[in-house]
């Protein structure tokens, strides 16, 4: 598996590369918060020598309740993401939900992300692949909670058939449904997905979700086990993950979306330092002085 590179940003992921970090907010709340979180994570990753991509969703279309906060929407969301990109000078990752969003998103984001529940929507995968490939970016596809690791080969095949190329694709593990209101991560799955010739990341934040099981809302929203995020992230890096996907907030309990699963921003440095060290050990890389 060769490494993927975003030449404009001097960012890479895959074989022989440092641990890639795709991190930020679950969903955009306002520009000031996005800039605060992005600035802190950029500083930490720069200090650690880790490639960094800022992530935030402009819309969380898959919500347990119609009353749940979804985000500012495409138009306002893209303006905030463009502001973060310009002021912080970082590449951007955000989700796509509809085919019509592919073209406008590709003008701003560098990493276009397909949510897990939509990874088998052929029209969306094809439109996303073509748009971000033309723009010279990466496609980050979350493997559905209903798929085995080896089933991801069909995702990669669609992308290759749509663009005559798949060497801009990253697969992301985010857990598999295990009975009711629970997810598990099969650590053997990272090696299986990497056999497909693509880098693989871990979405440790969403892997600790408890779908439809937030006791605060009587099941009207998703619960989570924040204390498990670091466990999943460290285990996945030890199992061969090429990158980590993490969501932070200065005050996680007040986050407007998936609060039980996001991490406190003031703990980011310690966790990323540990993950870097693990990745270096696993990949036989020499630790920085």
**What are the catalytic residues?**
26, 60, 258
Could you tell me if residue 144 is left (phi over 0), alpha (psi between -120 and 50 degrees) or otherwise beta? beta
C-alpha angle 197/92/100, rounded to 5°? 85
Give backbone dihedrals phi and psi of 36, rounded to 5 degrees, phi first.
Answer: -65, -50
Structure-token match 């960012």, residue found: 11
Characterize the bridge pairing of strands 200-203 and 52-57. unpaired
Structure tokens at 218: 């009587």
Could you tell me if residue 176 is left (phi over 0), alpha (psi between -120 and 50 degrees) or otherwise beta? beta
Residue 39 CA from chain centroid, whole number: 18
Is 248 in a helix, a strand, or coil? strand
Structure tokens at 96: 């796509």
DSSP character for 144?
A: P
Give the span between the Cα atoms of 166 and 169, in whole angstroms.
6
Is 30 in a helix, a strand, or coil? coil
Give the span between the Cα atoms of 83 and 38, in whole angstroms.
11
β strands within 97-241, DSSP E: 111-114, 138-142, 169-173, 176-177, 183-184, 200-203, 209-210, 223-224
């Amino acid at each position: 598996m060769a490494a993927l590179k975003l030449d404009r940003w001097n960012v890479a992921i895959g074989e022989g590369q440092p641990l890639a970090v795709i991190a930020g907010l679950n969903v955009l709340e306002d520009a000031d918060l996005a800039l605060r979180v992005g600035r802190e994570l950029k500083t930490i990753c720069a200090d650690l020598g880790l490639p960094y991509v800022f992530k935030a969703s402009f819309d969380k279309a898959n919500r347990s309740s119609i009353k749940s906060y979804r985000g500012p929407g495409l138009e306002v969301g893209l303006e905030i993401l463009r502001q973060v990109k310009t002021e912080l000078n970082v590449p951007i990752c955000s989700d796509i939900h509809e085919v019509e969003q592919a073209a406008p998103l590709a003008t701003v984001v560098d990493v276009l992300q397909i949510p897990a529940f939509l990874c088998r929507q052929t029209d969306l995968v094809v439109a996303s692949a073509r748009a971000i490939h033309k723009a010279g970016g990466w496609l980050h596809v979350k493997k559905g909670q209903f798929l085995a690791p080896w089933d991801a080969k069909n995702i990669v095949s669609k992308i290759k058939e749509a663009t005559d190329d798949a060497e801009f694709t990253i697969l992301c593990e985010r857990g598999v449904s295990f009975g009711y209101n629970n997810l598990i991560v099969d650590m053997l799955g990272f090696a299986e997905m990497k056999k497909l010739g693509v880098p693989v990341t871990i979405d440790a934040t969403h892997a600790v979700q408890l779908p439809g099981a937030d006791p605060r809302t009587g099941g009207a929203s998703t619960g989570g086990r924040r204390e498990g995020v670091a466990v999943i992230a460290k285990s996945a890096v030890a199992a061969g993950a090429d990158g980590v996907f993490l969501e932070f907030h200065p005050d996680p309990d007040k986050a407007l979306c998936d609060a039980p699963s996001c991490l406190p921003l003031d703990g980011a440095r310690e966790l990323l330092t540990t993950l870097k060290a693990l990745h270096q050990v696993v990949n036989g890389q020499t630790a920085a002085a």
